[in-house]
């Protein structure tokens, strides 16, 4: 854990996949083809904690969904940092590098499937959720204890904040003094 915290100390941007990371990977469709996803509120608060601590957040997903746009807006993720419909995620990653002017060492990526590996292999901290594909876990710097859509994002957020010495004061800010 010391090694991953040392790596996470420099993170300025966390990129999240959606299906299998921000959700548990389940896709629900009604009879009209409308898509539904379930997001974890604790994961959402973890994202808000990152943003409040001056750590940028981005989304790169292979699917296109108004639900993702709505969730990102709800969490106040910059719309310019939300990339949908990128089965090959490398062009979106390259654009993010240009926009943010960050080095790859300052970026963490959280994924769950082989489609995430091209970016995971380039970033400073590659993270797989607990229920990620076994091959993805083997190529991650760190694997969460919790599965995607079930608290893994919050776990990632708190690990990064703790590594940067920001977590304890942030948590204590919620106490009524």
Residue 5: helix, strand or coil by DSSP? helix
Kindly tell me the burial class for residue 86, based on how many C-beta atoms sit within 10 Å of its own C-beta (0-12, 13-18, 19 or more): middle
Residue 71 labelled as part of a binding site: yes
Burial class (CB in 10 A: 0-12, 13-18, 19+), 87: exposed
Is 48 annotated to bind a ligand? Reply is yes
Phi, psi at residue 2, to the nearest 5°?
-60, -40
b/e per residue 124-156 (b: at least 16 CB within 10 A):
bbbbbbbbbbeebbebbbbbbebbbbbbbbbbb
- Is 12 annotated as ligand-binding? no
Q: Are 72 and 59 in contact (CB under 8 A)?
A: yes
- Residue 89 is labelled as binding a ligand: yes
116 is in an annotated binding site: no
Q: Is 154 annotated as a binding residue?
A: no
88 carries a ligand binding annotation: no
Element (H, E) at 16: strand 13-16
Annotated binding site for substrate: 19, 48, 63, 71, 89
Annotated binding site for Mg(2+): 17, 112
Annotated binding site: 17, 19, 48, 63, 71, 89, 112
């Amino acid at each position: 854990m010391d090694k991953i915290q040392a790596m996470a100390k420099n993170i300025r941007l966390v990129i999240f996949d959606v299906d299998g990371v921000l959700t548990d990977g389940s896709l629900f469709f009604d009879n009209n083809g409308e898509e539904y996803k379930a997001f974890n509120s604790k994961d959402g608060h973890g994202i808000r904690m990152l943003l409040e601590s001056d750590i940028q957040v981005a989304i790169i997903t292979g699917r296109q969904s108004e639900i993702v746009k709505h969730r990102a807006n709800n969490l106040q993720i910059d719309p310019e940092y939300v990339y949908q419909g990128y089965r090959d995620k490398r062009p979106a990653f390259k654009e993010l590098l240009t926009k943010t002017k960050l080095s790859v060492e300052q970026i963490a990526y959280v994924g769950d499937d082989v489609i995430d590996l091209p970016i995971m292999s380039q970033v400073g901290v590659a993270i797989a959720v607990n229920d990620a594909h076994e091959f993805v876990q083997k190529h991650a710097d760190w694997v969460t204890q919790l599965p995607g859509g079930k608290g893994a994002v919050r776990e990632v957020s708190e690990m990064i904040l703790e590594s940067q010495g920001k977590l304890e004061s942030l948590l204590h800010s919620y106490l009524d003094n």
